[in-house]
Structure 1
Amino acid sequence: MCPVDPRIAALSAKQRGLITRAQLVDIGLTKRQIDHSLAAQKLIRIHPGVYRVAGSALVEDRGLAAGLLLTEGAASHRSAASLLGLIDTSSSAPEITVSDKQSHNKAGLILHRSSDLVSADVIRIRSLRCTNTTRTLIDLGAVVSEAVLESALERALHRRLTTVPRLRDRLEAVARPGRPGVASIRRLLDLRAPLLPATESELELLIWQILRRHGVRLPERQVKVRLAQRNYRLDLAYRLERVFIEGDGFGVHSTRSAFESDRTRQNNLVIAGWLPLRFTWQQARHSEEKIADQVRAALTLRHAAC
């Protein structure tokens, strides 16, 4: 196979091995030259007018990048949430928000049409156009469960990618009756007490959701305790009753020293009068009623002892 035109190689290298017909024309190729490159399989058609350069390395997000070149839109919803690290898995096909003036569907893409996506809503992640965290969370509720949305919200707040006031402001600007996803994000924001710290792990959030679902009085999050001239932080805690809750996930203790330190920490807290409750992923997934009952029992026990 003949080598790829260096002009094509240079431009496609910046676009995950992709190039568009319009770009090929801009760098001086004729229709005949483009068609010849396709026939010779120097270019492989991905979408109409979007091609992969033969021999280019397999790279992450190429399908999404191709969709963005085709539509000139922005990665959104699950695709944006995945790029931003708010969810662990993306959708089966790239999700892209485009102008509401684009009326045709595109094979292999999930298109969302919008009349209110403004430039301030769009950032670049790994060179890909993507809705920012605030806009992504507002859109995400239309395509995922409320539990997944809450997890994404907590991750975003913990990493300081957005704030509750910023979310509320943008939500009110784009909300309209019947808009998918708006009710979910608004409900989650309304559930948050002012200044509530974000959870710091998926297991911690899952335990919090279990307690809320079963009507157990909710604890404080990220509670700071000072004992014997040392500062400790408790994932979830009831200060008055001196009960604290922590999630035991696999990999929490990455080193032997961390394992030993955790045992010393718990012993010091117990000596100071704190009652620990520890729950695993398995318990949280399959025994949530038992978790709720045990937390209630611990609180009742402490009240009886007062």
Structure 2
Amino acid sequence: MESIPEVLASNQGQATFAELRSTTSRRGLSSAVQSGAIERLTRGLYTLPAPPTDKQVALAYDGVVSHLSAAVAWGLPVCATPAKPHITVPRKRRPKQGPPAVMHWAPIASEDFEARVTSVLRTVLDCARSLPFDEALAVADGALNKGLMLEADFTKAADAMRGPGRPNARRVAAAVHGGAASFLESMLRALLLTEQIDGFEPQLEVETGSSLLRVDLGHQVARIALEAEGFAFHGSSSDFAADCRRYDELVAAGWLVLRFAFWHVLAEPAWVAGMIRAVLLQRLGVQSDRK
């Protein structure tokens, strides 16, 4: 006869008491929990001793993984993985005890219940409703870039939304761009939009004479390239050398290159905006809309 941990292991790490009845008694199950051999996730549901996955937490509440946690599940770009999973349960569902979670109450589609995670479109809408504009834009950009949703579907759904968060969702839908290549690039573009700095195009192709280069955000008239530099930007010495060559070719072609790190964009947005305005004034001789 299999032991309780063996039954759980063969059942993807979780099982109900009914599924464990053939292996042990109620007293035996209680002893296994007390000894630490297994853990009680919620009433009638047991797991192996390990932090529960987001889907296990959703199962414990009979809900679905949603919002920022669903964005992580779909591989969409986020600022940070949430400390506690976001779980949505049907409206009017009475609160119940369970693992730590950020709870939401809203209607849930049957297909989302089956997958135990909200669809990509629903996930992007939830994030657009609840996250700051820049983070929500990064999630939406990522979904388009990966081909996981259509821009027209997102725009239509955002326009049909009602209640809190609708203005932010519509703003995200108006600004979303599938060409954005990274979370930081989307955050930088959101900063430009918020500061009303116009003229920069995502993933602009620049002809340098010897090659065709793509910049994160480019201003064709002012010939300014903005580069969003992530933590793991240079993977090797050859990557570093290639980047140096790329920047040198841009400068030789008459482009001014500004490089902004993660810290600059997230922690020093006023400084970033000031630098961009300064070079625009230098290049075009005109002030941007804000000072």
Within the alignment, does 1:135 sit opposite 2:122 as a pair? yes
Query: What SS class does the counterpart of residue 103 from structure 2 fall into?
Result: strand
Within the alignment, does 1:68 sit opposite 2:58 as a pair? yes
Question: How does 1:162-173 map onto structure 2 within 5 Å?
Answer: 162-172=149-159
* Aligned twin of 2:212: 231
Quick one: distance in 2 between partners of 1:233 and 1:134?
29
**Letter of the aligned partner of 2:147 in structure 1?**
R
Quick one: distance in 2 between partners of 1:12 and 1:172?
46
Q: CA deviation at 1:223?
A: 0.7
CA contact (8 A) 1:197 1:221 kept: no
Q: CA deviation at 1:149?
A: 1.8
* Aligned twin of 1:9: 6
Q: CA deviation at 1:74?
A: 1.5
Within the alignment, does 1:20 sit opposite 2:16 as a pair? yes
* Aligned twin of 2:289: none
Query: What SS class does the counterpart of residue 62 from structure 1 fall into?
Result: coil
Structure 2 length-normalised TM? 0.81
Within the alignment, does 1:113 sit opposite 2:105 as a pair? yes
Query: Which residues of structure 1 form unaligned runs of 5+?
Result: none
Within the alignment, does 1:240 sit opposite 2:221 as a pair? yes
**Letter of the aligned partner of 2:105 in structure 1?**
R
Quick one: structure 1 residues 171 and 296, their matched pair in 2 at CA, closer, same or farther if it must change by over 3 Å? closer
Q: CA deviation at 1:287?
A: 4.1
Name the Cα RMSD after superposition: 3.1
**Letter of the aligned partner of 2:26 in structure 1?**
I
CA contact (8 A) 2:137 2:190 kept: no
Structure 1 length-normalised TM? 0.77
Q: 1:52 aligns with which of 47, 61, 64?
A: 47
* Aligned twin of 1:182: 166
1:57-79: per-residue Cα shift (whole Å, max 9, x none)?
x3xx6253433333332111232
**Letter of the aligned partner of 1:131 in structure 2?**
T
Q: 2:70 aligns with which of 63, 80, 87?
A: 80
* Aligned twin of 1:292: 273
Quick one: structure 1 residues 147 and 14, their matched pair in 2 at CA, closer, same or farther if it must change by over 3 Å? farther
**Letter of the aligned partner of 1:184 in structure 2?**
N
Q: CA deviation at 1:142?
A: 4.9
1:23-79: per-residue Cα shift (whole Å, max 9, x none)?
335xx56xx8234322344653221111124xx6x3xx6253433333332111232
Within the alignment, does 1:214 sit opposite 2:195 as a pair? yes
Query: What SS class does the counterpart of residue 3 from structure 2 fall into?
Result: coil
Equivalent residues, number: 281
Identical residues among aligned pairs (%): 27
Quick one: distance in 2 between partners of 1:303 and 1:65?
53
**Letter of the aligned partner of 1:14 in structure 2?**
N
Within the alignment, does 1:161 sit opposite 2:157 as a pair? no
Q: CA deviation at 1:278?
A: 2.2
**Letter of the aligned partner of 2:143 in structure 1?**
A
Quick one: distance in 2 between partners of 1:222 and 1:49?
52
Quick one: structure 1 residues 218 and 20, their matched pair in 2 at CA, closer, same or farther if it must change by over 3 Å? farther
Q: CA deviation at 1:264?
A: 1.8
Quick one: distance in 1 between partners of 2:269 and 2:111?
42
Within the alignment, does 1:103 sit opposite 2:94 as a pair? yes
Within the alignment, does 1:265 sit opposite 2:246 as a pair? yes
Q: CA deviation at 1:258?
A: 1.6
Quick one: structure 1 residues 302 and 123, their matched pair in 2 at CA, closer, same or farther if it must change by over 3 Å? farther
Quick one: structure 1 residues 36 and 295, their matched pair in 2 at CA, closer, same or farther if it must change by over 3 Å? closer
Query: Which residues of structure 2 form unaligned runs of 5+?
Result: 286-291
Quick one: distance in 1 between partners of 2:43 and 2:94?
16
Q: CA deviation at 1:92?
A: 3.9
Quick one: structure 1 residues 293 and 77, their matched pair in 2 at CA, closer, same or farther if it must change by over 3 Å? closer
Quick one: distance in 2 between partners of 1:248 and 1:66?
36
Quick one: distance in 2 between partners of 1:63 and 1:167?
28
